[in-house]
Every structure is written in structure tokens, then in C-alpha cells.
Chain A
């Protein structure tokens, strides 16, 4: 896909996010929207996965360590064809397979997650498994910048660096906000890049909303041998929905009907601009 196609797809993924969270009357739109471009790139460009065969043996793996942003993952999976987009409206409803946090039984979901700090360890284990069996599938995991305050993240990073797991890509969504406010005010994990470097990672800083930078970082990660890669992506929390942008208030809150209409209008407008850009 070219960048414009990816941007259009990401915009649809964003609509799915706000639609799912609105329908659920609960959930986490802010961090889902900040990572929507990455979810889109992973599922439409990067990962070797097959929606018709979600359990394909040597597929690439993705673990959403910041599991509360399940709406972002589910929306990307649905748009990629793992399950109907219409089902996003059942998010968090009793009886729906779309649990509030990722569950391994959902088509396309490689690991249950949501308790922060745990997903990265599982991703490291998967990467280790590939190495033990000389398999060439790759493993990706996405963490929040607040999440890396969890000590287990650094246990996992130490192990991955020590074992030179160059089939592992750790992505940190650096939107600078956690529930209680700015991450540097709550308990600063900065400098994030220097920390991962110290744990023997190859570190790449990118703009989370620039598909050229995402593409180049993924290429660089594949070409990096003898050490795992960490992509620190600098993002805007709530990206795409005017009133959610850069606001900790929208970390874990659902829009009401009026707010939902505004969010969809914002995203429709972005969609129209992308269509126009395509015609030029």
C-alpha cells in the first residue's frame, strides 16, 4: 500500500475505534487512536499473517502489551478481514467475543494481554522460541509509555538484549500521557531511548503518524542483526478526534452520542481531505 492508501485505511481504523468504544460505553480511545497508524501499518504492510488462516504456524506474532488499546487492535484486525467490521459494535458486551482486553481466542489475537508489563515478556518468549527452532518468523509488541514504568518491562528488555533477539521489535507509543497526567509528572520514564540502548537494543525514534518513517524503521529493524530493535514512536494521544487530542481525560472514557457524532464528523472530514489529496 502507498502512504495515501495507508492513511485512508488508518482513518477507517480510527472510525472503528470510536464506534466500538461508543457502543461499549467504556474503553480506551486515546491510546488506541495514537497507535492507529502503527496498527494499520502492522496489519496491512508488515506482518506475515493470513486472515483466512489466523493460526498459521509460522506467522509473525504481535502482542499488544498495552492491552487496554484493544479497540485499536480489533479495528485493524476487522478491517484486515479477521472478523466482520460490524462486530466492533459488540465490544465489551456480555456474550461478545470482543473482550475488553485482548483474548487469545479472538481470531488474529496472538496473546491475551492487558495487565501492563506482561505482554513484552510473552513476546520475548515467542522470539526465543523462534530462535530455538531456527524459524524466521518475527515478533512485534506494542507498549505504552506509561506501561514502561512497570519493572517487568525491564526484566524482559534485559533478557531480550542479553539473548540478542534480533527477531523482536518492541514499539513504545510515546504519547506522553498516562491516566494521572503527563508521564514526566507522574513518574518519568524518560529518556526512553537511552534506557533501551542501555539494555542493548537498537533504538529508532520516529513520528508515529508518518508512514515513511514507520516503513523505514521496520526495514531498519529487519536489517539489524545481533540485537533487538526498539521503535520509540512519538505520537499524539487521541489523534484524529479534535477534542480527544493530547488529553489524558480521554485515556479511558467513552464518548456520549453527541461526542460520538463530533468524532465521526472529524474523521469524515479527514477522510474527505485524503480523497481530495488522491485526486490531485
Chain B
């Protein structure tokens, strides 16, 4: 029954994972910039107040403090909204974290248009593009609770800078299966198909799966790939699927410039040029509205994706 599917926001998964992993990783510390209640680092703060550092509303400084903590052996998770973590503090992330390749993890919540009612100023559709350009930066965008918690753990085990994007809105749990395995840099084929490859990231994986179901009714057999790690990208998996289907659609709650779509195009044009249709924010700002209404308006729900895929295959 569709209405019984468990839903949880990946920001909630982030807060829970930090708390759950705190014992196992004694060097883990969490930083926030006055948004602990919203980023859900408040869950960690409540359990480990001595390992939580509120930097106040000063994200640029927070990134530098995280760099300093990492330089003396801590594993800091610096948290804020994606707009401020990747946007405002871009240059601090590049120069104080990326260039010295410090072991800082950036947990960026409230990414994409599913931020909803706050509107365009807070809907960051550029973070994946910005973070991808930093040499040595791992960029992840988990699709659900299971993947978000796995990504946090993987980031802790990886030595070096990592950016993880989390969402505000509750999303269905789609990876809760016994054979689920998470590895940085590895994508998953979540549905096999032969007519078209839909590559999706984050909350759009659920839309892609929904679209595949709708397309099936019309006789189109779509393959759906879940890409959590935008960088380094699982190029092998994407190229293999493109060779099978010959057509690729990318779906992301992000600008079509510089994010998953661009990364997929970069991979394909190098070894197997394939027509690609990039779905996402088409070089526009978002606006106020409920998350669901916005996702629908910008064509990123199952119906919208299915319609775009059909149009592309014509």
C-alpha cells in the first residue's frame, strides 16, 4: 500500500547517523552555524554536547575552524544549509579544506527546490556543481534514509574532504533491502531495462523509479541507476548502461549546469557519446511553494520525468 511506505528526510538520517556513530568514532565532532534544529545536528548535540561546536551565523569561519580541527586530528562534520555551506563558504571550502586536502566532512542540508516555502534564496541548485570543481573533493547525494546513513559512515572511514547533500523533505525509504551495499564511487542499478537509461540522484531516484513504472505501462522498458556519489562518478556503470540502451536521461534536483547531468555527459562524451536529456532546474531560480508542488511544477516528479523521457525517445 503506497501510503504505508516509510518516509524520512535525509537531514534526519544525518543527525541520527552522527549520534549513532559517535561512540565508534571518538574523534568525530560536529559543527553548525545556528541551524542545529533544522540541520538535525541537534540530535547529536543533545547526546554529545561537549563534541558539538556552534559557530554562530558565520559559515565562512565555521569552514576554517573545521579545517583547523582536522589539522590537529579531529574528524569534523561542518553543517549548514547547502546555500551557505557550498555557496557562501565556497572559497573557504576550496582554499582551507580542499587545497590542503584536510579530513573535513561537510553535511549540507536543505538542498534543492524541495526546501519549499522559503523560496529561491534558500533553494540551492548549484552546490553539486560548485563542489565537483574542487580537486580531491568527494561529492555525495543520498537518495533515502538507508543511503544517507551509509554515506555518513563511509565519509567517516574515508580520509579527505567529503561533501554530502541532504534534503529537507521527508522522502520514501527505497534502499531497505538485505543486499544493499554502499561504497563511495559506486552506483546501483535499481531497475534493469533496455530502452533508456534514467540516471538519478538524491530524492529524484524515487521519481525515476516511479517514472519507470509509468513508462512500463506504455511499453517502454527503462533502466534506472541510482548515483549517490557524483564525484568520483561510477563511469563504468553509466557507460555500460548507455551501451545497452543508447539513450540517457539524468534527473536531479539541481541546475542542469554542472551537476549530475554534466558529470554523466562528461563521462559519456569521453568514451561512448550518447544522446543525453538533462532534467533538473533549467537555468532558473526556484520559488516559494510546497516541496511536492515545486517538484511537480519543475517536472521532477514521476509523471514529469516519464513525460520528458517519452518526449526524448520520440
Chain A: residues with CB nearer than 8 A to chain B?
A: 57, 61, 63, 103-104, 110-112, 114-115, 117-130, 132-133, 139, 151-152, 155-156, 158-159, 162
Residues of A within 8 A of B29 (CB): 132
Cβ of B60 within 8 Å of any chain A Cβ, yes or no, is: yes
Residues of A within 8 A of B95 (CB): 112, 114-115, 118
Residues of A within 8 A of B67 (CB): 111, 121-122, 125
B56 and A158 form a contact (CB under 8 A): yes
A228 to B69, CA, bound (A): 17
Closest to B55 in A: A159
Q: Would you give the 0/1 interface string for B21-62, flagging 1 where the beta carbon is closer than 8 Å to chain A?
A: 000000001000000000000000000001101011010110
Residues of A within 8 A of B60 (CB): 117-118, 121, 151-152, 155
Cβ of B100 within 8 Å of any chain A Cβ, yes or no, is: yes
Cβ of B63 within 8 Å of any chain A Cβ, yes or no, is: yes
Q: Interface stretch among B71-79, B111-119, B171-179, B226-234?
A: B71-79
Closest to A109 in B: B100
Cβ of B65 within 8 Å of any chain A Cβ, yes or no, is: yes
Cβ of B96 within 8 Å of any chain A Cβ, yes or no, is: yes
Interchain CB contact (< 8 A) of B68 among A114, A115, A125, A152: A125
A159 and B72 form a contact (CB under 8 A): no
A61 and B64 form a contact (CB under 8 A): no
Residues of A within 8 A of B68 (CB): 63, 111, 121-129, 139
A133 to B26, CA, bound (A): 11
Least Cβ–Cβ distance between A216 and chain B, in angstroms: 28
Closest to B72 in A: A129
Chain B residues 115 to 167 lying within 8 A of chain A, measured CB to CB, are none
B interface SS class = helix
Closest to B59 in A: A155
Interchain CB contact (< 8 A) of B72 among A104, A130, A151, A152: A130
A158 and B99 form a contact (CB under 8 A): no
Cβ of B92 within 8 Å of any chain A Cβ, yes or no, is: yes
B96 and A126 form a contact (CB under 8 A): no
Q: Given A128-B65, A128-B68, is A155 in contact with B100 using a C-beta cutoff of 8 Å?
A: no
A-B contact count (CB 8 A): 105
Least Cβ–Cβ distance between A195 and chain B, in angstroms: 16
Residues of B within 8 A of A128 (CB): 53, 65, 68-69
Interchain CB contact (< 8 A) of A129 among B63, B74, B92, B99: B74
Residues of B within 8 A of A159 (CB): 55-56, 58, 61, 65
Least Cβ–Cβ distance between A4 and chain B, in angstroms: 36
Least Cβ–Cβ distance between A61 and chain B, in angstroms: 7
Least Cβ–Cβ distance between A146 and chain B, in angstroms: 18
A124 to B76, CA, bound (A): 14
Closest to A114 in B: B95
Interchain CB contact (< 8 A) of A126 among B63, B69, B91, B100: B69
A133 to B27, CA, bound (A): 10
Known interface pairs A132-B51, A152-B64; 16 further A-B residue pairs with C-beta atoms within 8 A, sorted by A's residue number: A103-B99, A110-B71, A111-B96, A115-B95, A121-B60, A121-B64, A121-B67, A121-B68, A122-B71, A125-B68, A128-B65, A128-B68, A129-B68, A129-B69, A129-B74, A155-B58
Residues of B within 8 A of A158 (CB): 56, 58
Least Cβ–Cβ distance between B249 and chain A, in angstroms: 39
A128 to B53, CA, bound (A): 9
Interchain CB contact (< 8 A) of B63 among A110, A121, A162: A121
Least Cβ–Cβ distance between A70 and chain B, in angstroms: 14
Selected A-B contacts with CB under 8 Å, 29 pairs: A57-B73, A61-B71, A63-B68, A104-B100, A110-B71, A111-B67, A112-B95, A115-B95, A117-B60, A119-B64, A121-B67, A121-B96, A122-B64, A122-B68, A122-B96, A124-B61, A125-B66, A125-B67, A125-B76, A126-B72, A128-B69, A129-B69, A129-B74, A132-B51, A155-B58, A155-B60, A156-B65, A159-B61, A162-B56
Residues of B within 8 A of A130 (CB): 72
Interchain CB contact (< 8 A) of B71 among A111, A117, A120, A133: A111
Closest to A163 in B: B53
A124 and B64 form a contact (CB under 8 A): yes
Closest to A126 in B: B68
Least Cβ–Cβ distance between A89 and chain B, in angstroms: 25
A128 to B70, CA, bound (A): 11
A158 to B55, CA, bound (A): 9
A155 to B92, CA, bound (A): 13
A132 and B74 form a contact (CB under 8 A): yes
Residues of A within 8 A of B70 (CB): 125
Least Cβ–Cβ distance between A200 and chain B, in angstroms: 14
- What 4 A-B pairs have minimum CB-CB distances, sorted nearest first? A125-B68, A121-B64, A155-B61, A125-B65
Residues of B within 8 A of A118 (CB): 60, 64, 92, 95-96
Residues of A within 8 A of B50 (CB): 132
Closest to A127 in B: B68
B91 and A125 form a contact (CB under 8 A): no
A103 to B101, CA, bound (A): 11
Closest to A130 in B: B72
B71 and A126 form a contact (CB under 8 A): yes
Least Cβ–Cβ distance between A169 and chain B, in angstroms: 14
Residues of B within 8 A of A133 (CB): 72-73
